[in-house]
Structure 1
């Protein structure tokens, strides 16, 4: 019997994948806790001003914009990625642990919190750049879609459980001490990653300098027809999704009259839909393939936003429709992101994994700030409902990128020379990537 005829061991029975999945789930859940605990620390303990809160919020995103592209070049120069991942988790653990210590010593201030956010953000950027190549080392090619689905399921779990756990910890321990949960989650993640035994055999291409390495990743992302289509679709989705997010709360409360307490329930349903989507995607991909799932799922992206924009009627009807469309959209988001990551993996080659991944993440994350700004400004002039309908139409444009690409069945594939290297997937894709009003962009 040929080796290729032997059925692979199920992922759930592979110790190294279980360790990697558990590490990410714990780390992401800890990060969800800190998203509430750190701002509450600034507000309740340090009486932060609006401008200081703006700086604190921006600090979490700055590292991705400043170091995002370079992080991919760094990852592609490594023969082993796991040591960098462990180091990033330990640095993040130490940074988070300084918050409760500084508070107990009476040293905590806004500058301290901003510095912690910058350190953790920078470590996170480097971690994500190294994480994807390591996933490729741990998981066989035939099981990568299932692995991606598993990671997205963990993000869905974190998005549902994290805020509730954060609220409980803040109530019991106070906000600064609740940040300890994030520190412990980073430490636990590092220990679990340390226990992985799968050897890495990465053979990096010779570096020609940081700038040339970065340009090489950019060129690969925009010249390969499939990578270009996925990049264009991701940017389109995230731009209009963030414009929608900017006005979503105002519209739900002021126009639709949805009780504030129920908005959290609706968002949680999206996380539950993500769990269901991950489970279904892992199974459907084996039968239909990632291309078909991507082609179908992209058609459903405007559904929830369009329903929100056109919704009228009694409260029970609004809540029912929002619950249904939100749950479905949560599944669609995960299905699209999972298949998007697996396809990028399939279409690229190892030497540019980090750079193509960093380029994609940089583009789809960088457009979020622009989308949010545009959505807010347009709402001032056009009103909330018109902006939401514009966002639904805008997200629908992402289907053009996908359906006019070689991903469509029977569509001839252009003969393009393979990029000097890429083999990537959207790392949040692994930390995600694709939109949702739960702030989980592509």
Structure 2
């Protein structure tokens, strides 16, 4: 298991290796925001896809996360995690480049779009599994929170500026051609990662079959008090927030009568909270402790969603209220994510990072489509506003997992591993 030292964390922005990795992640995140907009637009505008077909497209992107159980166990047996990161980036770049090529020949089909969604999702899962071990080889334990904060800031910035940049590119170049930008971002990421020197330890001798390793990953997550509490917490909050996620745009458009532009302004302005939350997380953690900061984040993330049912007034007031709600929620998710992700990294044994990540993500991400389906059913039967209240209040219950666990007593990563 990784030992967390008490020495002050190093200045990561001066570490050339981490800085290179950070830049690659930032470029890739901006590329992802473009594809998130472009892929549905290709389906809708170019292929006249139905709502059901678009939902299948979204489901296929998330589906490979279920393979994380097996992929994580396989990754744990590989020595060169950096090579796997590069392969994952190259696979996604090649798959995405197939779309503009097919577009030039007038041969884009819905089947191809489905395959692109599935394979890029699989590449993302492979990258995530290998990234765990690469991260700990690159970042000293005392800097886990700071490093996670910086990477989260890049993700937050991409959500603020990415949709606007993506929208402009899609409008100027058409959606299939705009996908080239995301493909290039993966190529840049692969190039930068290939230039990062890192010492990777070989895995221990194999003790069991792949199925045995999968079982070990599940047992580790379910029996370890910190991992079990974190999984229960994040899965619960994801289930309820995805109930709201499935309905927010529909609610803003239909019930609040906001235009697409107004909705984009509200959500884009609110996403600034994610940037602030990622920047504040290390300071708040040092001030009040890791466990308390994570618990505050778990409450702040879903609670504001219940207030969306109260939004009313003229257009400017609706936009301002939605932006404020999204801003507080975004601060909360970063306070939660930065601390819990650093905690997960600290308490996971070095030889089990891939299969822990696989077991964790299979449950944590697998619950999201279920939450969206429940949101659709509730929104249809009891209405949008009551469903949003349920999503917000239900999500707050996730904090009980942390309250009833050792996490609430953890003030720093040193406490987590002693």
Q: TM-score, normalised by structure 2?
A: 0.92
Q: How many residues align?
A: 409
How is 1:77-92 mapped onto 2 (pairs within 5 angstroms)?
Answer: 77-92=77-92
Match of 2:414 in 1: none
TM-superposed CA distance for 1:243, in Å, is 0.8
**Structure 1, unaligned stretches of length 5 or more?**
412-416, 419-442
CA distance, structure 2, for counterparts of residue 52 and residue 288 of structure 1:
47
CA distance, structure 1, for counterparts of residue 172 and residue 199 of structure 2:
43
Check 1:250–1:47 CA distance in 2 against 1; reply closer, same or farther (3 A cut).
Answer: closer
CA distance, structure 2, for counterparts of residue 204 and residue 270 of structure 1:
46
Which 10-residue stretch deviates more, 358-367 or 105-114?
105-114
Classify the secondary structure of the residue corresponding to 1:61: helix
Check 1:340–1:49 CA distance in 2 against 1; reply closer, same or farther (3 A cut).
Answer: same
TM-superposed CA distance for 1:250, in Å, is 2.8
Q: Structure 1, residues 53-94: CA drift from partner, whole Å, max 9, x if none?
A: 3433332122222x1211110121122210000011111111
Check 1:392–1:205 CA distance in 2 against 1; reply closer, same or farther (3 A cut).
Answer: farther
Match of 2:200 in 1: 200
CA distance, structure 2, for counterparts of residue 147 and residue 87 of structure 1:
23
CA distance, structure 1, for counterparts of residue 68 and residue 119 of structure 2:
14
TM-superposed CA distance for 1:317, in Å, is 4.2
CA distance, structure 1, for counterparts of residue 179 and residue 207 of structure 2:
39
Match of 1:402 in 2: 402
Which 10-residue stretch deviates more, 47-56 or 219-228?
47-56
Match of 1:385 in 2: 385
TM-superposed CA distance for 1:289, in Å, is 3.2
Q: Structure 1, residues 303-358: CA drift from partner, whole Å, max 9, x if none?
A: 31122123445555444333223212111111100101111122221111111111
Which 10-residue stretch deviates more, 13-22 or 286-295?
286-295
TM-superposed CA distance for 1:179, in Å, is 1.1
CA distance, structure 1, for counterparts of residue 382 and residue 45 of structure 2:
36
Classify the secondary structure of the residue corresponding to 1:60: helix
Match of 2:168 in 1: 168
Q: Which has the higher contact order (CA 8 A, sep 6+)?
A: 2
CA distance, structure 1, for counterparts of residue 121 and residue 307 of structure 2:
35
Check 1:5–1:322 CA distance in 2 against 1; reply closer, same or farther (3 A cut).
Answer: closer
Q: Structure 1, residues 77-130: CA drift from partner, whole Å, max 9, x if none?
A: 122210000011111111111111122133322222222222211111111100
1:303–1:325 contact (8 Å) kept in structure 2: no
Match of 1:426 in 2: none
2:57–2:114 contact (8 Å) kept in structure 1: yes
Match of 2:11 in 1: 10
1:277–1:334 contact (8 Å) kept in structure 2: yes
2:375–2:387 contact (8 Å) kept in structure 1: yes
Q: TM-score, normalised by structure 1?
A: 0.87
Match of 2:106 in 1: 106
How is 1:36-435 mapped onto 2 (pairs within 5 angstroms)?
Answer: 36-65=37-66, 67-204=67-204, 206-409=206-409
Classify the secondary structure of the residue corresponding to 1:147: helix
TM-superposed CA distance for 1:148, in Å, is 0.7
TM-superposed CA distance for 1:245, in Å, is 1.5
**Structure 2, unaligned stretches of length 5 or more?**
412-416
CA distance, structure 2, for counterparts of residue 320 and residue 44 of structure 1:
31
TM-superposed CA distance for 1:230, in Å, is 0.7
2:242–2:368 contact (8 Å) kept in structure 1: yes
Classify the secondary structure of the residue corresponding to 2:409: coil
CA distance, structure 2, for counterparts of residue 217 and residue 339 of structure 1:
21
2:8–2:142 contact (8 Å) kept in structure 1: no
CA distance, structure 2, for counterparts of residue 356 and residue 217 of structure 1:
5
The RMSD of aligned alpha carbons is 2.2
